[in-house]
C-alpha cells in the first residue's frame, strides 16, 4: 500500500496496543503517543506489511469465485456435470507446479500464477486437475480425457516454455 494512503494516529490514551483499520480508502494505524521513533517506525512497517498480506489473501478469495464458476462450466462441458468437487481455490504456495489435486478429499489447488495466463491455459490447468478426480494418475486414460480439450497441446507448450517439467507431451 502506498505511503500516501497510510495515516498515523497517535493517541495519548493508548499505552501498549497498536491497531489498524480502513476508512475512506486509507489504512489508519493507531499508536501510543509516547512511543519512541525507532519503535514507531518498526510497528508502522509491520502493520503495513500485515495489511498488505491481508489484502492479498482477500483478493485471492474474491478470485476463487471466478475459479469455482469456471470449474462448474468445465465440469458440465467435459464431465457431463458428474464430478463432485469439494473445493477449488487459488493458492500462493505452489511455485514448482501450476495445480494439484487431492482425489481422496476432492480438493483442487491452482497456483495464483495461473491467474495471469491466457484463458485457454487457465482452462487447461483446471481441466487437467479436475481430470485427476476421475484418474488420480497420469495414465493413458487420464491423458485421453485431458486431450479432449482442443488447446491441450498448445497449453502444454505454453507451460513448458514457462519451465514446467511435469507436463507430459508423449502419452
User: CA angle at residue 7 from 4 to 10, to 5 degrees?
Assistant: 150
170 pLDDT above the threshold of 70: no
pLDDT tens digits for 11-25? 888 888 888 887 777
pTM for the whole structure: 0.63
> N- to C-terminal Cα distance for the chain?
47
Task: Map grid coordinates 509516547 to a residue.
Answer: 34
Cβ partners under 8 Å of residue 22, min gap 6: 28
Tell me which of 61 and 71 has the higher pLDDT.
Answer: 71
Average pLDDT rounded to a whole number, residues 144-151: 95
Q: Are strands 107-111 and 99-102 parallel, antiparallel or unpaired?
A: antiparallel
* Neighbour tally for 105: CB within 10 Å: 8
Chain length of the chain: 171
* Domain boundaries along the sequence of the chain: 3-57, 60-161
Q: What's the CA gap between 74 and 104, in Å, rounded?
A: 20
Say which CATH topology domain 60-161 has: Zincin-like (3.30.2010)
Tell me which of 163 and 9 has the higher pLDDT.
Answer: 9
Closest alpha carbon to 31 in 48, 54, 52: 48
Task: Map grid coordinates 502444454 to a residue.
Answer: 156
Amino acid at each position: 500500500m502506498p505511503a500516501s494512503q497510510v495515516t498515523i494516529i497517535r493517541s495519548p490514551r493508548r499505552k501498549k496496543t497498536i491497531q489498524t483499520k480502513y476508512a475512506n480508502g486509507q489504512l489508519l494505524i493507531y499508536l501510543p503517543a509516547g512511543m519512541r521513533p525507532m519503535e514507531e517506525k518498526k510497528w508502522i512497517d509491520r502493520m503495513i506489511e500485515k495489511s498488505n498480506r491481508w489484502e492479498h489473501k482477500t483478493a485471492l478469495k474474491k478470485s476463487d469465485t471466478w475459479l469455482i464458476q469456471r470449474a462448474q462450466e468445465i465440469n458440465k462441458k467435459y464431465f457431463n456435470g458428474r464430478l463432485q468437487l469439494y473445493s477449488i481455490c487459488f493458492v500462493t504456495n505452489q511455485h514448482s507446479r501450476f495445480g494439484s489435486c487431492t482425489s481422496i478429499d476432492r480438493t483442487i489447488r491452482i497456483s495464483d500464477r495461473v491467474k495471469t495466463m491466457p484463458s485457454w491455459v487457465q482452462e487447461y490447468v483446471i481441466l487437467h486437475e479436475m481430470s485427476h478426480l476421475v484418474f488420480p494418475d497420469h495414465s493413458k486414460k487420464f491423458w485421453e480425457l485431458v486431450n479432449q480439450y482442443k488447446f491441450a497441446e498448445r497449453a502444454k507448450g505454453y507451460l513448458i516454455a514457462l519451465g514446467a517439467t511435469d507436463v507430459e507431451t508423449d502419452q
